Structure formats: structure tokens, C-alpha cells
Structure 1
């Protein structure tokens, strides 16, 4: 009996970047997995909480989303993260039919 239908099973050598930094109020530690999967959006993992998301610079402009996904307390902290992510995340050209 087949319990699962495999959707994909890809192997890929990827670039991973670990970066830690501080802002005025907080310390941040992230792992960023640069991959060709997921429409080219990097997988960003908060090393402190284990929370992760697929993120590109356009997504990082959404401060409310950053606050929610990484449990950030203030708009100012989310703006700090947005500035950081805009510098380290590559621009992806997602096909319009896949945008949400």
C-alpha cells in the first residue's frame, strides 16, 4: 500500500551563509540557504528560534510579515531586519503566474 505520493526529491549543492549581527536593541543569528528550489527564494532560518521562511528582498519589505515570522517586537526592529535582508538576499524573478 502506497501511503505517500512523492512530489519531488531533489539533490542540490547549495551555498549556505551564517551571519550574526547586532542592532541597537537585539542580536540576530541567521542561516541563509541559497538554492535554485522554491523559485530561487533563499531559505532564511533564525538560529535563535528555529523559525524559517522563504524570503526575497521584495518579501523583506513587508515589516508586518517579518514581525510575525521571526517574532519581532517592534516596527523599528523589523525595519532593521528589512535593511539587512535587502543587502544580502538576491533579487528573484518569479513568474507572474506564481505570485500571490
Structure 2
């Protein structure tokens, strides 16, 4: 067997916030991971939907980003966007 070639193998301290809230149409169960690795952005994991994205305020302003990343309808994405603006 050949030797494994790592592109990187780092350990990093992170701070994770678990939050669950009910939107008008659906429940959001999220893990927000803060780290120095993503240049001020946070890793947002949708636990129920098994999706994740690296998100900063610039991503929240990009049209259709949350809809695509989390496979949400526009109204649900707006609720998530409003919450993320408060915490990111």
C-alpha cells in the first residue's frame, strides 16, 4: 500500500453553538462553528437537512446563496438569513 499524501492535517480549537428555532414553515436545527480557518466566516451545519456551508455576511447578501446551499424555498431562506445576520 502506498503512503497517504495529506494536503493538510490540522487540529484547531473551535467554538460551536447549537441552536434550534421554529420558522413559519419549518424547524431549523443548526450548529454554528466558529474557527480561525475560514477568514472570519462560520461553518453553518443544518443538522436535520444534512447540508452545510461556510457563511459570512457577504454570502448572506448574495442572492440565492442560502436557497441553493440549504435547498430552501425563498421564504424559509429569508427566515434563516434574518437569524444568521444576528449571529454572524
CA RMSD after TM alignment: 1.4
* Equivalent position of 1:33 in the other structure: 33
- Distance in 2, matches of 1:64 and 1:70, equals 10
Richer in strand (by share) = 2
Could you tell me which residue of structure 1 aligns to residue 76 of structure 2? 77
Q: What is the Cα deviation at residue 40 of structure 1?
A: 2.6
Q: CA deviation at 1:60?
A: 1.5
Corresponding residue of 1:14? 14
Instruction: Report which stretch shifted further, 6-15 or 40-49.
Output: 6-15
Q: Indicate the residue corresponding to 2:50 in structure 1.
A: 50
5+ residue gaps, structure 2? none
The gaps in structure 1 that reach 5 residues or longer are 90-100
TM-score, with length taken from structure 2: 0.87
Aligned residues: 87
What's the offset of the Cα at 1:2? 4.0
Secondary structure of 1:44 counterpart: strand
TM-score, normalised on structure 1? Answer: 0.78
Q: Distance in 2 between the 1:85 and 1:63 partners?
A: 15
